[in-house]
Amino acid sequence: MPFEKNSKKVYKNTLFLYFRMILLMGVNLYTSRIVLQALGVVDFGISNVVGGIIVALSFINNSMTLAVNRYLSFEMGKETEQNTNKIFSLSVNIHVLIALFVILFGETLGLWFINHKLVIPVERMIAANWIYQFSILSFVMSVLRVPYNAMIIAHEEMKLYAYISIVEGLLKLLIAFSLLYILFDKLIIYGGLMAFSVGIITLCYIVLCKRKFKECTYHFFWNKQLFKSMTQYAGISTMGNLSSVILDQGQNILLNIFFGPVLNTARGIVYQINMALSLFVANMYMAATPQITKSYAANDRDYLVKIVNQTALFSLICLSLLIVPVIVELPYLLHLWLGDEFPKETILFGQLVLLNLFTVNLVKTLLIAIQSSAKIFKVHFYTGMLIMCNIPIDYILLKFVHVNAYSIFVVQLFIDVIFVCIVLCLAKKQLNWDIKKYIVKIIFPISLLFISDLIIMMFVTSVIVLDNILNVLLIFSLSSTYILSMSYCFLFSKKNKKVLSGRIRSFFNHYK
């Protein structure tokens, strides 16, 4: 098979991405505590909700990112270098247009919404407007670097991400520590420094890509047919990405309107945890996506099925290793991370959000396969409409039933279960995927393993009471042992067991 030999490249790239993830996760968790301490609960909440307004436009950027990644990888799968350069140059032009649109929207409707609709203390309105402007600048620079990021992914040179992440991590640490010693308005300074760091990282991407990839040389290029094809793909993807943004920012705004900025802080903290754990499996998806797209372009069905199923299996096992202990020990982990400087609602918010995270990842690799095929209209339309149902349901419950704030995450969990069912049906219809086999081999056993592990660990914490840190270590150890042993016995194929056993023997023989 032409792409079989590239399996090792997927594993190697995954290791580079895990190095990047561990670095950024450690930095993000540590700096979040310092930033929360320096800004305070109210300013931290303002930063989260105000910055989120402009990030709401990320659905446009995310859609074009998906399109550029898909088209670059597809052309590389067909080994057409000249077309790859044309796609890169056209994508640069498109992202300049997106950046201009972001500025136009941000300085009109977005600015009006900040000053007239959000619940912000009067004395912090000036600071809120400053951090909003810095958010626009940061987002524009992030938009302009998308074609360069896509080139790295298409070439599967993930080690560049690791190198740049070292710079990114150092900048975040410097910014966080500087807030402790700044005497001026810390919220304003924080926004300015974050915009500066985004600019530095964007410059790093551009310089490294130009030196590394010969296709990454910009020449003005415009092709109406290619532009139409890419923007149509992105436009369809927008339905899915827009729905995620509406859910994300809609929840944030509803919490702000009905409960005030303190619960925005709770949600902001929770989604930093969610993002950190999402990155853990996103690395596998990022490493596997080019191979999925290239195998589809080469019509290598056997390898396509193999890499989709293996990526799903291993990513869900890894996600379970993290989510279960974090759910069980979240109260103490939050205390260890943030001290007592967090709203009490953060605990239940976090546990529900992590359950949602596991649920949607059950079909993540199937979504990647559908996107590689370009048959994406139905999956984005149906799932997008479903996800957007969260907000009107949440509003009705909050406005007329007067439910507690955590109810919006319960609604999201039920809708995510329906989301999984829709993706399975569409994969069967559009890709002729063996869904019965996927459910039997992936979804059912992984879900059973996850639920049983969660129940066992909750029981253990109820009967064994140790010092807090010892409790955490015990739960992580027992949970990992249970998941890994059950996975090895019942989920791994004979070939996977043979490869794993061989690598373990090689490791121990090396250190004899």
Does residue 228 lie within any of the structural domains?
A: yes
Please give the residue that has the higher pLDDT: either 390 or 106. 390
Q: What is the pLDDT of residue 508?
A: 61
Phi-psi region of 27 (alpha: psi -120 to 50; beta: other; left: phi over 0): alpha
What's the average model confidence in pLDDT over 469-497?
A: 90
Does residue 246 lie within any of the structural domains?
A: yes
Q: State CA 16 to chain mean position distance.
A: 17
Q: Which residue has the tokens 């069980």?
A: 328
Count how many Cα atoms sit within 13 Å of the Cα of residue 390 in the half-sphere of its side chain.
29
What's the average model confidence in pLDDT over 464-478?
A: 87
Q: Which residue has the tokens 């943004």?
A: 245
Q: Assign 243 a pLDDT band (cuts: 50, 70, 90).
A: confident
Cα distance between residue 488 and residue 494, in whole Å? 10
Q: What is the pLDDT of residue 493?
A: 81
pLDDT at 326 over 90: yes
Does residue 96 lie within any of the structural domains?
A: yes
Kindly write down the DSSP assignment for every residue of 298-331, as one continuous string: TT-HHHHHHHHHHHHHHHHHHHHHHHHHHHHTHH
Tell me the backbone φ, ψ of residue 362, rounded to 5 degrees. Answer: -60, -30
Residues near 477 by beta carbon (within 8 Å), at least 6 away in sequence: none
Q: How far is CA 438 from CA 91, 368, 460, in A?
A: 35, 15, 32
What's the average model confidence in pLDDT over 276-287?
A: 81
Does residue 67 lie within any of the structural domains?
A: yes
What's the average model confidence in pLDDT over 241-255?
A: 85
pLDDT at 510 over 60: no
Q: Which domain holds residue 41?
A: 4-502
Kindly write down the DSSP assignment for every residue of 403-467, as one continuous string: --TTHHHHHHHHHHHHHHHHHHHHHHHHH---HHHHIIIIIHHHHHHHHHHHHHHHHHHHH----
Cα distance between residue 21 and residue 427, in whole Å? 30
Please give the residue that has the higher pLDDT: either 202 or 42. 202
Does residue 63 lie within any of the structural domains?
A: yes
User: Which helix H or strand E contains 108, and what residues bound it?
Assistant: none
Q: Model confidence over 161-172: pLDDT tens digits?
A: 778 888 888 898
Q: Assign 1 a pLDDT band (cuts: 50, 70, 90).
A: very low
Q: Model confidence over 395-423: pLDDT tens digits?
A: 999 999 999 999 999 999 999 999 999 99
Q: How far is CA 83 from CA 61, 72, 382, in A?
A: 22, 9, 32
Local structure of 375: helix, strand or coil:
coil
Cα distance between residue 296 and residue 112, in whole Å? 46
Q: Model confidence over 48-92: pLDDT tens digits?
A: 777 776 666 666 666 777 778 778 877 776 666 667 888 888 889
Angle in degrees, CA 470, 475, 480, rounded to 5: 130
Q: Assign 503 a pLDDT band (cuts: 50, 70, 90).
A: low
Computed over every residue of the chain, the mean pLDDT equals 85
Q: Model confidence over 31-48: pLDDT tens digits?
A: 877 888 888 888 888 887
**Residue 72: Cβ within 10 Å count:** 24
Report CA dihedral (467, 472, 478, 479) to the nearest 10 degrees: 150
Specify the range with the lowest mean pLDDT, choosing from 59-68, 99-108, 160-169, 237-246.
59-68
Query: How many domains are there within the chain?
Result: 1
Does residue 508 lie within any of the structural domains?
A: no
What's the average model confidence in pLDDT over 500-511?
A: 65
Local structure of 391: helix, strand or coil:
helix
Q: What is the pLDDT of residue 54?
A: 66
pLDDT at 512 over 70: no
Q: What is the pLDDT of residue 2?
A: 47
Does residue 511 lie within any of the structural domains?
A: no
Cα distance between residue 352 and residue 327, in whole Å? 9
What's the average model confidence in pLDDT over 227-254?
A: 82
- The answer to whether the Cα torsion of 34, 40, 45, 48 is positive or negative is negative
Count how many Cα atoms sit within 13 Å of the Cα of residue 282 in the half-sphere of its side chain.
13
Does residue 512 lie within any of the structural domains?
A: no
